[in-house]
Amino acid sequence: MFYVYFDFVLHVQIRIDSLRGGQKAAADKMAKEKKRLGGCLKGFLAFILLVVVGLVVLTGVTISKLTVDHHDLEIMGDEQDYQSGMEKAKTVVKGDITALHLLNIYNGKYEVQGSVPVEAVFTNAETYAILNKANETSGPMRNIQIKWLQGNKFEFYGVVDKSIMSIVNKHMGLNEEDNPALVKWIGRILHNKPVYGKGSFDLVSPNYVEIDMETVVMGNRTLKDENVSLIRNELRNLINKAVSLENGVSIEELTVENGALHYEGTLPREIKGQ
């Protein structure tokens, strides 16, 4: 296409030169111009090829780093852990618990009735079983692991699902209807990527838990401070939206004891996802 255009321009110029009696000069000019423009075009194509190859290499390296996983906490839980955890919580789940995945909790798509007093110690395995049962079909993460550490600290690990894009879109100002290709592309990059984080919590009041994040790693790439702050704020919002009197929750004590979470307060008597 480039050559067709350049040939057309050159032939027009040569025709003008011919009419003026400079046929040989025009022919020489055409040869020189074709050589020059051909060189420019080859240089341009070489540059584009270099850019494309560079992007492919960089993207490949970046994605390979994101998929490298050195932080699996190796926490497991089974149906027995799920049942024991739910018995301790004393909350009756109406309908399918998969409707209580993290995106629905984040967006307030659930209903609660009443409250019950609870004093219990939740193990890592019980926490794992409850979280993964709720998020196994539609949640933004899977294989969610939380390791409770002394001093009210914790480590978390999970594998991202592309459904997390509903949260990402909010912060990037993206609309799937307006940017379907971009949203789909970012979703593919994030999908199936391991995420690790380390932080701490502090019960400030019966209905507010302060969350601090020390570090967040995707694959083996440590996220920048501004991204860690964003994740901390979203985690804080997620927890404190749920921790409200309207949801039947009032916390008297929330501490880590011997590698397990000690909870004392109230929880909803019944809960149902929408």
d(CA 165, CA 40): 43
- Domain C-terminal end among 43, 67, 91: 67
Local confidence band at 258 (pLDDT 50, 70, 90 cut-offs): very high
- Secondary structure E strands in 4-149: 92-94, 110-122, 141-149
- How many percent of the chain have pLDDT more than 70? 68
Q: Which of 232, 217, 219, 213 is nearest to 61 (CA)?
A: 219
| Domains identified in the chain, total number | 2
90 and 50 in a common domain: no
Question: Which one-letter DSSP state was computed for residue 21?
Answer: T
Inform me whether the pLDDT recorded for 95 exceeds 50: yes
d(CA 100, CA 138): 9
15 and 141 in a common domain: no
Q: Side chain identity at 205, as an amino acid letter?
A: S
Give the pLDDT of residue 30. 54
93 and 144 in a common domain: yes
210 and 83 in a common domain: yes
Q: Which domain holds residue 235?
A: 79-273
264 and 139 in a common domain: yes
Give the pLDDT of residue 103. 86
Can you tell me which residue has the tokens 């909870």?
A: 263
151 and 262 in a common domain: yes
Residue 161 is encoded by which pair of tokens? Answer: 């699902």
- Domain C-terminal end among 13, 44, 67: 67
Evaluated on CA atoms 148, 191, 142, 92, the torsion sign reads positive
Local confidence band at 17 (pLDDT 50, 70, 90 cut-offs): very low
Give the pLDDT of residue 41. 52
Give the pLDDT of residue 172. 60
84 and 14 in a common domain: no
50 and 153 in a common domain: no
92 and 20 in a common domain: no
94 and 197 in a common domain: yes
What are the pLDDT digits (tens) for 190-239? 778 899 999 999 999 999 999 999 999 988 789 899 889 988 988 898 89
Local confidence band at 29 (pLDDT 50, 70, 90 cut-offs): low
d(CA 81, CA 123): 9
- Let me know if residue 212 belongs to a domain: yes
Mean pLDDT of the chain: 78
d(CA 165, CA 223): 18
- Let me know if residue 194 belongs to a domain: yes
Question: Which ranges in 90-179 belong to alpha helices (H)?
Answer: 102-106, 124-135, 165-172
Give the pLDDT of residue 166. 65
Inform me whether the pLDDT recorded for 157 exceeds 80: yes
Of residues 191 and 75, more confidently modeled = 75
Local confidence band at 121 (pLDDT 50, 70, 90 cut-offs): very high
What are the pLDDT digits (tens) for 129-141? 999 999 999 888 8
- Let me know if residue 72 belongs to a domain: no
Local confidence band at 57 (pLDDT 50, 70, 90 cut-offs): very low
- Domain C-terminal end among 23, 38, 67: 67
Give the pLDDT of residue 168. 63
Give helix 79-89 / helix 124-135 axis angle, nearest 10°.
100
254 and 185 in a common domain: yes
Give the pLDDT of residue 32. 55
- Three-class SS of residue 111? strand
Of residues 107 and 122, more confidently modeled = 122
Give the pLDDT of residue 183. 66
Can you tell me which residue has the tokens 């704020």?
A: 233
- Let me know if residue 167 belongs to a domain: yes
107 and 44 in a common domain: no
Query: Model-level pTM?
Result: 0.71
- Let me know if residue 152 belongs to a domain: yes
Return the minimum-mean-pLDDT range out of 79-83, 84-88, 167-171. 167-171
Q: Between the ranges 75-84, 154-163, 210-219, 222-231, where is the mean pLDDT highest?
A: 75-84
- Let me know if residue 73 belongs to a domain: no
